[in-house]
Structure 1
Amino acid sequence: MWETIRGYLTFTRKERFGVLFLLLLISILFVAPYFFRPSVGEPDPVAYEKMKKGIREFDSGTDSSRKAGTYDRYHENKPGMDTRNSGGSDRPVTGALFSFDPNTITEAEWQRLGISERLTQTILHYIEKGGRFRRAEDLRKLYGLRPDDYERLLPFVCIARIPGNRQTRSGFYSNTSENQQVAVKKTDSVYRQNALKITANAVYPYRVKKGTITEINMADSADWSRLPGIGEKLASRIVHFRDRLGGFYKADQVAETFGLPDSTFKKIKPFLTLNKPALQLIDINNASKEILQAHPYIRWQIAQGIIEYRRQHGNFQSVDELLQLAQMDPQKFEKMRPYLVVKP
């Protein structure tokens, strides 16, 4: 056993010289920085005194850049922030006080109240996009409105209510007039239902969309957006999906649109009609790989299989021959079959 251990610890003459050389080289590299440090020279007395003076001013709170410049520049970069009291000044904002409805007053009236022009533009932009103040306390949510301005304006806020509307526990606004009953779902202070509802007693600016009969292969984005639960984005997705397919051959295909909830599809399904479908057919004997894989039902794996089959066996004699592909299963085949054709 000792012989085996000694065999591992025995070195030749060259190996011993090599180990000693490496140890010497490592030692030199370790101590060399202590002998070759760069000279930094003598410190500049003027610069040193200037630095000490700046530190004393900062500690004593008399640094002018901290009192005014830095603070103001920071606040000037905040969109919609009232900066007239910035910089630690206790000077109150002057402005007239009068009763006002924040949903209806003009830019000039906001500025009369002592609100800065930038914050005024933010408020008007919020209202223009469909926002609405429902309670006086909603002013507190304005980014850039100073707390003292909020306390000053709060007693003078008078928000007019929509006649005949009340909010229920479910988050809907219900019209309880004798002739009309309208339920409108609230979505983050923006109402998608913005058509006018005129009754004998009042004007109601919101109503639920009424579905219209839609031919799914002829409807454009505007037609789709008239259906309940379908906005501009979903309407564009449905049209884009239909174009990529080459037309719908049954109404249930609409439900396959990306982002379309099943509950929404159930709402619009009674309004969907399909006349004789005019589909864009793909000739599997002549279509390129790019055309094949661009179809939502085919994709690149099946497209590659079709190209390989044509290269090895020649043209397809019928569409049913696609079932011979290893990548194909009967369910996929039935979905894509109406879009495929064989031409010599």
Structure 2
Amino acid sequence: MNKIKSYFLFSREHRSGIFLLFGIIVFVQLSYFFLKNQLVSNENHTEDKAWLLVQNEIDSLKHIQATKKDTIYPFNPNYITDYKGYKLGMSIQEIDRLHAYRKKGKFVNSAKEFQEITQVSNAFLSKVSPYFKFPDWVKNKGAATSEKFPKYLAKEKEKIVQKDINFASREDLIAVYGIGEKLADKILLEKEKLGGFVSMEQFQFIWGISPEAIADLEKRFAVKNSIGIKKIAINDLSQKELAKFPYFNYSIAKEIIIYRTMNNGIKNVDDLTKIKGMPNEKIKIIALYLNF
């Protein structure tokens, strides 16, 4: 019993050592507690700061989107495409009325005439008409002599037999108003790359051809034969092969591969519009070169 009791009897040095050890333990625990809280606080502060920066960026993008206005550049309303009309805010019926009028070989020569043909609202006309850009001969036709009118209008009464654009020679193209040797070579090179043209609308996307030249082209030529046009199998070709198609590039080809993989293939034109980067203003033309 005395032996056991001796274990619980401490000298002054022992008691001092025990209290010192106890004090060290308490100090370490408190230090750990405060240091941990400080680290958590700093981490939270860093996260809050990072999130605040992200939120500020989001708010900034929202503000830009809310205040963003589409820039409208001067254009000839006679050559409004489906995509251009849609971007301007025209209805399908209004666009179709304009296209039906143009198919007759007629031109809109004023904002008032544009409204009469398309039946757009006064509000729409007042918004877009300041950007209408008609040829100089239209503006000056009241005082113009016959010599001042473009060649293709002076020959308007001439009986023109339309040729197939895919069989047009270099000389045939040079005879078109506004097309010289360089543009004729450019058109022939484009035809060679595509295997042939599928629509006269394609000339709107060849840089350097003026609206007046396009009008004369449409009078002299039409797409009558699609022999030689090689359609591409959009669901079978590799990315490298797709990128060779003139209306695609490497980036679009990559998006095509991704879309068709995730959606069990591309089935129709509507699917094309869902592909990132696809030039929607050319989509009707592109579709004519594809096999789905």
* TM tier relative to shorter chain: 0.3 to 0.5
Give TM-score, length-normalised by structure 1: 0.34
Give the number of the structure whose residues are more often helix, by fraction: 2
Higher relative contact order (CA 8 A, sep 6+): 2
Give TM-score, length-normalised by structure 2: 0.39
